[in-house]
Structure 1
Amino acid sequence: MSAHSSLRVVDASVIRPSDVDLPPRSIPLTFFDVKWLRPPPVQRLFLYRLHGNHNVEQLISDLKASLSKALTLFYPLAGHVRLVPNSSKRYELSYQPGDGVCFTTAEYDADVDDLARPSDGEPVHVARLAPLVPPLPQGRAVLAVQATALLDGRGLALGVTVHHSAGDGASSTHFMHTWAAVCNGAVEMPPPPVIDRTLIADPRGLYDIYCKGLPSDGGEIEFATSSVSSVRDDQLVATFTLTPEVLTAIKDALAGEAARHGAPSRRCSSTLAAYSFIWSCYCRAKKEQNHTKTTHILFSVDHRARLKPPVPPKYFGNCCSPAIAGARHDELAAAGTGGLFTAFTAIASALEEEVGEGSQERWDGCIERVKEAAKAGMMFVVGSPKFRVYDTDFGFGRPAKVVAMSATATGSMPVADARDGGGGVEVALSFPADGMDRFRRCFTDAMHAIGVQ
């Protein structure tokens, strides 16, 4: 029996903004946005444990009512992407009265504890989780939601699918925190979103550069509606937590390596420490025939505060560009702390280049650089500890587990705040079974190398 066969759809409805007087709105996409018209959507799964005093039907009813209120603030998420009328190249996010978000209610014969896997490094089959995130409906909608009651009412799975052209991770998690605050009756609400894409200037004509390859005959683009539509039966995903103590040990090991190499000391944030540690482990676990080839890691840099003039922190849309680090595979995979130091040096240099003077003048070649790095071999970082996904509390507790389902393809590295709220960093990796075994061994060896038993 396939995992999908145990999912039963109970209801499919459309949730509209609670303010019925919202006028039609058209929001032009910026050059940051149009880069994301082709890639598949972002799909995230929130798993919650429930207790005997929770009525699942009531919880789902509350989720729908609060979503309607949240959509009044984040109304673009109720709309869809379309070509600007009488244009063949310009796209906009259009909201019309009556537009809404597809909300699926389902039941699934799986235990929340089996899906959430409380122990670090304990994998779960991606195919078991895949039915819990909804596809986007046809027609270039940008948001879909699915609430699934788990076995015996002991858990609730909330699957959220967002098209990246609508907004980046900071925007989508701002929406999730607002929705949760409305639902749990928070006294203090998150600040409202700033929905004004004219704040993003484009003096270098990056929009047209990034639109190359999109239909130029006036035809509408059709979205990929899911990122987990086909999953290998043996594909696994597991979470690894780097506690504050482990992150300190990584930083100490890097400082020791820098002194040994006579290299200048560079500031190492907990996020960069996590990227470096996992990238090195990943390369060590990966079977690579050409050990001298250059491999890459890509991570996003938020430019809200760096644009001239800067845009508000709660700007709703995309405002990120990629930083791409590269190093030789054999040097990244080196035993001890040598591979860790190589990874950190490359990542720190890439970040300095992306935020340094003149970096924005190189954005015209950004898509080509990403393509070249992907062709050579690249790991993608998804998410950020700053998004605080484990603070998404709808009134029935913090999530037992958050899974970035769209990153469960091999080569992606979802990063989040640690679920215990203790200040660590949580990283997820997805491999077939044999690859997962190799990574777990490499992860354990790397922990020993930095003095963590």
Structure 2
Amino acid sequence: MITIYLYIYIYNPGVGKSPLNHGHGLNQAFNKFAYATHYSTMAMASTKILEVTHVAPFTATTHFTLPLTSFDTLWFKFPPVQSLFFYSLPKDTTFFLNSLLPKLKHSLSLTLQHFLPLAGKLTWPQHSPKPIALYTPGDVVSISVAESNADFYTLSSNQPFQASKVRPLVSPLHVSETGVSVMALQITVFPNKGFCIGLTTHHGVGDGKSATMFIKSWAYLTKENNPPLLPEKLTPFYDRTVIKDPSGFEMKVLNYWIGNPGSTSSDCRNNPKLFQSESSQSSDLDELYRTIFELSRSDIDKLRRRVTNPNNLHLSSFVLTYAYMFDCFLKATDGDKTKSKVFLDFAVDYRNRLTPPVPENYFGNCVVIKANYDDMREEESTFTVLVEKVSDLVKSVGKEKDLQSETEEVISRIIATSSENCCHVGVAGSPKLELYSIDFGWGRPKKVVFVSIENGAISMAECGDGSGGIEVGLVLKKHQMDLFASIFINGLN
């Protein structure tokens, strides 16, 4: 492993923490500071596939069909949801391969009997007016078992490293002539150090909350002694009649994606590429670095106090964190001519906002995109202005006069700007998902990483130490990351 240290030094007699491992000790009464940014290239790292096995749902003998709703078709062509969960090994690698791995496979089989759509595929039968998620007896989930000599401690830390280093740790979805698999898994062991679980799910079948419910259920059945029963909050709810769509809006959304506003074509049914998103993976991943920044509760309180004219603003932790990271992003990428326009957008869970509300354990997509299409590079986008714009979007949630019309406008805007030099700084994940609570029996995750954020999105999760802070992941070019780190830390002092 090659390690490079970039030092940015300004005299400070009492150095706090690095901004890339930001925490409670950082915001002391110092006007000047010093920090070292640790860059690891892991030049010799390699990942070797040890085996590819297939796990079937336990005792599943009947077909299971899950229709798509308008919320599902909204996310039909978006990239897969990809996450990594890093865990320290309780013992050596032999123990992992001989004991923990078989237990994970067995509990996965038990879990899949509750989540049959994840073992199936997204397909468009000739007799169906729209695609469906279909499980057929004999369908399986592909699980790759790999070994990596990459630096486990760097990959599972807040330190920056090349974005390309996490790509070998997740598996792609399998595409066939009849459709695409809904889920793929990969378990990668780092000898005598730790392992990670790579989860890939098709966004057209479920949102982040649904994917999280699955992996929490898997962890529960691995850890508990009374499988295969699940508590109610982890038992997926599949009834699609709770999503009301009397006007057939899901077909209108679907036609947007297939590029045929008039009608659906039989050619689309036979084209597996229909189920694939346009690639969101940057071609220059080796030039990009990913980092996780932390905002403590005291940092967020400090940002709240900084807002001028706070009356009537929604100053939640999400609003303040997103606005601050967006502000740093704009300043750090100001010279990037390849992304001349930058937009605010994020997804909102609508399970408890529909009439009547949808159960919290509803499996599928139930999120709506909220967006502001003012070009933030052209605006006087100070931190307070950004807070106001994000606050306005949050306050509009659930108050739409016509949710379908607003959603239709968002889709048309996304399509219109996808070919331009635009950057949509969306948000993957949420602190409310409580990802660091996912314990398979050997403790909380050492780190949770959102993989597919290379094109401008950021990720959010609760801080893994349980302190109540928020950790935010992002991917930038190296010089932009250097500048972002400096802006981030200066802005909190």
Please, what TM-score do these two structures have when normalized by structure 1?
0.88
Instruction: Tell me the equivalent position of 2:293.
Output: 240
2-side partners of 1:424 and 1:377: how far apart?
27
- RMSD over aligned CA atoms reads 2.5
Q: Take 2:253 and 2:464, find their aligned partners in 1: how far apart are those partners? A: 37
Deviation per CA, 1:250-287, whole angstroms, max 9, x where unpaired? 11112xx116xxxx332311111111110111111112
- Counterpart Cα distance in 2 of 1:307 and 1:148: 40
Q: Distance in 2 between matches of 1:136 and 1:166?
A: 13
Q: Does 1:165 align with 2:204?
A: yes
- Distance in 2 between residues matched to 1:305 and 1:61, nearest whole Å: 38
Q: Percent identity between the aligned chains?
A: 31
Unaligned 5+ runs, structure 1: 449-453
Structure 2 Cα separation of the partners of residues 361 and 52 of structure 1: 53
Q: 1:294 to 1:258 in 2, by over 3 A?
A: farther
Deviation, 1:97, is 0.8
CA offset at residue 232 of structure 1? 2.1
Q: Describe the shift of the 1:77–1:401 C-alpha distance in structure 2 as closer, same or farther (beyond 3 A).
A: same
Correspondence for 2:393: 350
* Match runs of 1:428-439 below 5 Å: 428-439=473-484
For 1:177 and 1:4, how far apart are their aligned partners in 2?
34
Q: Where does residue 123 of structure 1 map in the other structure?
A: 160
Deviations 1:286-341 (A, max 9, x none): 12589xx873211111111121222111100001110113555358776xxxx211
- Which one has a larger percent helix, Structure 1 or Structure 2? 1
Q: Does 1:306 align with 2:353?
A: yes
Q: Deviations over 1:401-447 (max 9, x none)?
A: 1111011x131111111111211111011011111111111111211
Q: How does 1:24-423 map to 2 (within 5 A)?
A: 24-52=63-91, 55-57=95-97, 58-87=99-128, 89-117=129-157, 120=158, 122-139=159-176, 140-150=180-190, 152-185=191-224, 189=231, 190-212=233-255, 213-214=257-258, 216=265, 217=267, 218-222=269-273, 223-224=275-276, 228=281, 230-254=283-307, 257-258=308-309, 264-288=311-335, 295-327=342-374, 329=376, 339-362=382-405, 363-372=407-416, 375=420, 376-407=422-453, 409-423=454-468
Structure 1 residues 186 and 220, CA gap change in structure 2 (3 angstroms): farther
- Asked if the contact 1:48–1:112 (Cα under 8 Å) also holds between the matched residues in 2, the reply is no
Contact kept? 1:43, 1:227, Cα under 8 Å: no
Shift of 1:20: 3.4
Aligned pair in 2 of structure 1 residues 41, 24: CA closer, same or farther (>3 Å)? same
Whichever residue aligns with residue 180 of structure 1, its letter is A
Question: For residue 127 of structure 1, what is the amino acid of its counterpart?
Answer: S
The secondary structure found in structure 2 opposite 1:355 is coil
User: More deviation in 307-316 or 228-237?
Assistant: 228-237
Count of paired positions = 429
Give runs of ≥4 in structure 1 deviating > 6 Å.
1-5
Q: One-letter code of the match for 1:169?
A: G
Q: Distance in 1 between matches of 2:284 and 2:219?
A: 30
Give 3-state SS (helix, strand or coil) of 1:315's partner: coil
Instruction: Write the deviation string for residues 232-254 of structure 1: whole angstroms up to 9, x where unpaired.
Output: 21211000011111111111112
Counterpart of 2:424, as a letter, is: M
1:24, 1:107 → 2: CA distance?
Answer: 35
Contact 2:280 2:455 (C-alpha < 8 Å) held by counterparts: no
Letter in 1 for 2:101: I
Matched with 2:13 is none
The CA deviation string for residues 323-365 of structure 1, in whole angstroms up to 9 with x for no partner, is 113555358776xxxx211111001112223421414142332
Deviation at 1:153, TM superposition (A): 2.2
| Long gaps (5+) in structure 2 | 2-41, 259-263
Supply the distance in 1 between the matched residues of 2:416 and 2:283 (Cα, whole angstroms).
25
Deviation for aligned residue 1:182: 0.7
Asked if 1 retains the 8 angstrom alpha-carbon contact of 2:75 and 2:203, the reply is: yes
Cα distance in 2, alignment partners of residues 412 and 332 from structure 1: 20
1:230: Cα distance to partner? 4.7
In structure 2, relative to structure 1, the CA distance for the partners of 1:3 and 1:143 (3 Å cut) is farther
CA contact (8 A) 1:381 1:413 kept: yes
In structure 2, do the counterparts of structure 1 residues 352 and 267 end up closer, same or farther at CA, with 3 Å as the change threshold?
closer
Residues 83 and 448, structure 2, Cα contact 8 Å, conserved in 1: yes
Q: 1:20 to 1:372 in 2, by over 3 A?
A: closer
Residue 133 of structure 1 deviates from its aligned partner by 0.6
Q: Confirm or deny that 1:9 pairs with 2:73.
A: no
